[in-house]
Amino acid sequence: MEWSLENVREMVAGGMQSIRECEICALAIGVCVLLLFMWYCYRVGREHGSSPLRGRYLSGSSRIGGVVGGFRSKGKHSLLEEQNGFAFCQSSECFRCTSAGESLNQRLYHSLQDYAKRYTWSGMGRVHKGVRDQGRYLNSRPTIQRPEVFFLPDLPSAPFFSREVQRHDVELLEQSFPALLAEFESIYHQPPARSGSSLPPGWKANNTPRGQWWTYYLVNQGTPLVLNVRRCPKAWRVLGQLRTFIANNVFGNACFSVLTPGALITEHYGPTNVRLRCHLGLKVPPSCELVVGGEPQCWSEGSCLLFDDSFLHRAFHEGNPEDGPRVVFMVDLWHPNVAAAERQALDYIFTPGRLEDREGK
């Protein structure tokens, strides 16, 4: 190739033409992307129209990590210290006993829309699907697993789960076994709270067909119980160190649970499948058993048992009086397959008192 001024001019002109063609292609691609984005926004806006109702996002004062010397104690939740801790108490303060029915589905959907307006719809596919079709899910579930309040679709389900799915929290609880056992002994052997009562301060008796079932709640349906927490600083500290404890919504509980010899907790379902219930065995006499989804398991002292309490389950203690009570420390952990974005949304929707506040509007 001979180098000349004419050849150089031709090369420069060809290069400029190529650049102009590339600019046209890039502009066309940009216009197409912009049109696709506008179409996507239009579809999302149509599918998730804004709600005419507005709720208030309650502050996170009930968060385990954020409470130092103070707890939620205003409004009707301050009465929890005086209420029966039994899950099926029929109390006006109990979320499970008062939140069933068609109106709950509407309140859930409005709360989810409020959350999406404040934050995002990203990652909300399963939550939106669950809220939208909640009535159908709850009514069509097989009798072996039928959560009473909220069902999140497409979650892997089994009556019992391996300790590995929440390894950090399981190991932390098991390492805390001596401290939790000692704290149980200190609150269990206190004198009765008042004359005529056989229960020490803070303990609640639950309905059972036979025997006695007592619970001592530190957190009941997402709300810390002030006096009980003050009597159990070590257990409270353990809860604060757990990574997956449900601390900010009504599905979260933490308590000491006692079954006396001869006691039976009849078959029942939990409120949701988004949690795993963890039992740390503190005192386990012979002839004690937990049956979940038809599968029996026995507790073991110093070890954790993880199960999905949305399955039909029951527990019993068929030992002799001299065997003493069965005692576990119970905490509710997130199901490992509930994503972080879904947990945040569920915390918002099921903040203690939120759905009741919306019902009154």
What tens digit of pLDDT does each residue of 143-157 get? Answer: 899 998 999 999 999
Task: Please list the residues that pair with 328 across neighbouring strands.
Answer: 257, 281
The predicted pLDDT at position 8 comes to 57
Q: Is the pLDDT of residue 201 over 50?
A: yes
User: Torsion angle of alpha carbons 104, 107, 113, 114, nearest 10°?
Assistant: -140
Q: Is the pLDDT of residue 89 over 80?
A: no
**pTM for the structure as a whole:** 0.74
Please answer whether residues 159 and 307 qualify as being in contact, where contact means their C-beta atoms are separated by less than 8 angstroms.
yes
- Confidence tier at 122 by pLDDT (50, 70, 90): confident
Query: What is the token pair recorded at 14?
Result: 């060809």
- Confidence tier at 204 by pLDDT (50, 70, 90): very high
Please answer whether residues 256 and 215 qualify as being in contact, where contact means their C-beta atoms are separated by less than 8 angstroms.
yes
- Confidence tier at 51 by pLDDT (50, 70, 90): very low
Neighbours of 106 (CB within 10 A): 16
The predicted pLDDT at position 64 comes to 42
- Confidence tier at 74 by pLDDT (50, 70, 90): very low
Task: Please list the residues that pair with 295 across neighbouring strands.
Answer: 292
For all residues of the chain together, what is the average pLDDT? Answer: 81
What span, in angstroms and rounded, lies between the C-alpha atoms of 120 and 105?
Answer: 20
The predicted pLDDT at position 325 comes to 97
88-97, 274-283, 320-329, range with the lowest pLDDT: 88-97
What span, in angstroms and rounded, lies between the C-alpha atoms of 228 and 226?
Answer: 6
The predicted pLDDT at position 316 comes to 97
The predicted pLDDT at position 28 comes to 77
The string of pLDDT tens digits covering residues 220-242 is: 999 999 999 999 999 999 999 99
The predicted pLDDT at position 12 comes to 61
- Confidence tier at 291 by pLDDT (50, 70, 90): very high
The predicted pLDDT at position 259 comes to 97
Percent of the chain residues past pLDDT 90, beyond the cut: 55
The number of helices, as runs of H, and strands, as runs of E, in the chain is 11, 12
The predicted pLDDT at position 263 comes to 97
